[in-house]
């Protein structure tokens, strides 16, 4: 089992390394770290507004995204959470692929899941656009749930203790 600090260090050291294997603990500690980091980066902007007195400053206007749902979309961009997402995307993808390797699965499953998500999302959106809102919602909901469950089952599955097609277990 890998400790929290070791997992974070390993993932940054193997920033874009897709070869090799990652144990369950390394993957899940990284997920916790990435989630907390992005959450803090997003929530930090809201906290800055609450701590300010006398109205919104330039800083708070710059970092608070417009969360309303209108046709123009977002009018402001949150630079902290965007930067955190950009920095953490590649090591998150790499540790995901290495985790698949640990259970002797190909990293190409990530692309397959992405294509299935885009395809069923497009079909569901087409149904919704054609007036079949319930059918579109069911297609999107069922397919995304199935993909999520499939991924989670594999991510909680124990890795091969012995060498597999992807080499020795990284410790």
How many whole angstroms separate alpha carbon 19 and alpha carbon 107? 9
Q: What angle do CA 17, 81, 87 make, to 5 degrees?
A: 20
pTM of structure: 0.76
Q: What is the dihedral of CA 127, 129, 131, 133, to 10 degrees?
A: 60
pLDDT at 56: 47
Residue 23's contacts (CB-CB under 8 Å, 6 or more residues apart) are: 1, 2, 102, 159, 169, 170, 171
DSSP 13: H
How many whole angstroms separate alpha carbon 93 and alpha carbon 18? 8
Locate 6 and state its tokens. 């070791």
**pLDDT for 12-41, tens place per residue?**
999 999 999 999 999 999 999 999 999 898
**Percentage of the chain modeled with pLDDT above 90:** 68
DSSP 169: P
């Amino acid at each position: 089992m890998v400790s929290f600090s070791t997992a974070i260090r390993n993932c940054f050291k193997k920033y874009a390394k897709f070869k090799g294997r990652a144990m369950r603990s390394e993957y899940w500690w990284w997920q916790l770290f990435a989630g907390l980091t992005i959450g803090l980066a997003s929530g930090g902007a809201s906290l800055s507004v609450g701590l300010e007195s006398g109205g919104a400053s330039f800083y708070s206007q710059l970092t608070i995204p417009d969360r309303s749902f209108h046709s123009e979309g977002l009018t402001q961009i949150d630079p902290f959470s965007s930067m955190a997402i950009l920095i953490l995307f590649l090591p998150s993808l790499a540790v995901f692929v290495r985790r698949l390797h640990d259970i002797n699965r190909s990293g190409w499953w990530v692309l397959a899941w992405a294509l299935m998500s885009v395809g069923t999302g497009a079909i569901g959106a087409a149904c919704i656009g054609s007036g079949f809102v319930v059918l579109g919602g069911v297609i999107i909901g069922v397919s995304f749930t199935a993909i999520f469950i499939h991924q989670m089952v594999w991510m909680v599955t124990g890795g091969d203790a012995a060498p597999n097609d992807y080499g020795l277990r990284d410790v």
